[in-house]
Structures are given as C-alpha cells and as structure tokens.
Amino acid sequence: MAEDGRDLQASNWEPTIRARLVAGDEDALGEACDQFASFVYGIAFRVIGDARAAEDVAQDVFMKLWEQPTGFEPRRGSLRTWLGTLAHRRAVDCVRREEAKRRTAVRDATRSAVAPDVEEMAMALVTSERVRSALDALPEEQRVAIQLAYFGGRTYREVAQVLGIPEGTAKSRLRLGLRRIAVALERTEQWA
C-alpha cells in the first residue's frame, strides 16, 4: 500500500497517464474516460438532475483534462478526486446559469406585463430631482463620498482609498451626508 492509502498500481498509473496526456496521447484520454466517465457523469447528474446537461458537463471535464493535463497534479491527490471536484464545480455552475436565465425570463415577463404607471414615473422624477438638490447642498467631502459610493458603486473601503482617508472617516461622511439628504427630503415633502 502507498502512504496515502491508494494501492501502488494506482499511484504509478496516475503520473504515467498524466505524462501521456501532456505528450498528447489520445489513448491516455480514452483510458481516463473509460475509467472515470460514469463517475463524472454521476456527479453531474446528481447536481443538475438533467441527463443531457450532465453529459455536457462530463464532456467539458474530459476536455479540460485533455486541453490542460497539467492541471492535475498526482502528488496533490488522485485523478478521481480531481475529476470529481471539477465535475461538481461545472455542474454547480450549470445550475447557477440556468437559475439566472430563469430569473431573468421571469423578471422580463413581469416587466413587459406591467404597463408603466405615469403617476409613479412622475413621482420618481420629482424624488430624483429632490435627491439631486439635497446632494448638491451637502458639504463637498460628504457629496463626493456619496457620489463615489451610491453613484459610482464603490464600497466604503474603496471610497476611503480613492479619497485617501481612513475607513472610519469615509463611513462618517457617508452617514452624515445621507442623514442630511433624508432631512432635506422630509422638509421638501412637508412643503409639497
């Protein structure tokens, strides 16, 4: 028995099959497929639940082995484990892609089914103008921080880095600026 529990034959086979794959030996790929195809397919099918998609994942896994055989390192683990991990990751990615497509389709169907409400759109424009006015009235350091965070999509850490200030200062500027905007919006709603 080898130190890691695999028998000596398997521990010799894996470095050999890897070397043959690196050399472009198609028979080596065939041997790996014969040995592990049902295992790889089984993992993909359990994750995805769709035979055709599981076949696609299995094909992708073996294409990865063929195109990048150096990705498998026998000293780090068995070929079975490497292929299984790759199959699981690809299957999970497949499920995520399908779920994202489904959500997008549902969202698009919902958007097209709902006609835009003119009053709601007008209120959104008025609110947007009020927010812009309140933002313009802020002290420059608060205004810039809010613009970076909310209109630039940056985290408070990124705001701190861009402005060259401590993270706590960035948080404070954002918090104070947002509080002032909220107060300004409350005032304008009272007058509306």
Does the residue 41 lie in any domain?
yes
Per-residue confidence (pLDDT) for residue 130, from 0 to 100: 84
Does the residue 1 lie in any domain?
no
Per-residue confidence (pLDDT) for residue 42, from 0 to 100: 95
Does the residue 124 lie in any domain?
yes
The pair of three-digit structure tokens given for residue 183, joined into one six-digit string: 């107060």
Does the residue 3 lie in any domain?
no
Per-residue confidence (pLDDT) for residue 192, from 0 to 100: 56
- Give yes or no: residues 27 and 59 share one domain: yes
Per-residue confidence (pLDDT) for residue 65, from 0 to 100: 94
For residue 26, pLDDT over 60 is answered with yes
Per-residue confidence (pLDDT) for residue 134, from 0 to 100: 85
The pair of three-digit structure tokens given for residue 140, joined into one six-digit string: 């420059």
- Give yes or no: residues 39 and 107 share one domain: yes
Which residue, of 64, 80, 112, is where some domain finishes?
A: 112
The whole-angstrom separation of Cα 75 and Cα 115 is: 61
Long-range pairs for 11-14: beta carbons < 8 A, 24 or more residues apart: 11/74, 14/72, 14/74, 14/78, 14/79
Does the residue 2 lie in any domain?
no
- Express each pLDDT in 8-25 by its tens digit: 455 688 999 999 999 999
Per-residue confidence (pLDDT) for residue 10, from 0 to 100: 54
CATH number at residue 70: 1.10.1740.10
The more confident residue out of 82 and 131 is 82
Which residue, of 47, 80, 112, is where some domain finishes?
A: 112
For 175-187, the DSSP string reads HHHHHHHHHHHHH
- Express each pLDDT in 39-64 by its tens digit: 999 999 999 999 999 999 999 999 99
Number of structural domains (the chain) is 2
Which residue, of 112, 135, 164, is where some domain finishes?
A: 112
For residue 79, pLDDT over 80 is answered with yes
- Give yes or no: residues 100 and 144 share one domain: no
The pair of three-digit structure tokens given for residue 76, joined into one six-digit string: 């780090």
For residue 99, pLDDT over 70 is answered with yes
Per-residue confidence (pLDDT) for residue 56, from 0 to 100: 94
* Dihedral sign, Cα of residue 7, residue 14, residue 57, residue 51: negative
- Give yes or no: residues 108 and 64 share one domain: yes
The pair of three-digit structure tokens given for residue 83, joined into one six-digit string: 């292929």
Question: What's the mean per-residue pLDDT of the chain?
Answer: 86
For residue 80, pLDDT over 90 is answered with yes
Per-residue confidence (pLDDT) for residue 3, from 0 to 100: 45
- Give yes or no: residues 134 and 105 share one domain: no
- Give yes or no: residues 91 and 164 share one domain: no
- Give yes or no: residues 99 and 123 share one domain: no
For residue 5, pLDDT over 50 is answered with no
- Give yes or no: residues 88 and 156 share one domain: no
- Give yes or no: residues 87 and 133 share one domain: no
* Domain that includes residue 136, residue range: 118-191
- Give yes or no: residues 14 and 99 share one domain: yes
CATH number at residue 155: 1.10.10.10
The residue-averaged pLDDT of 65-78 equals 92
* Dihedral sign, Cα of residue 48, residue 54, residue 60, residue 61: positive
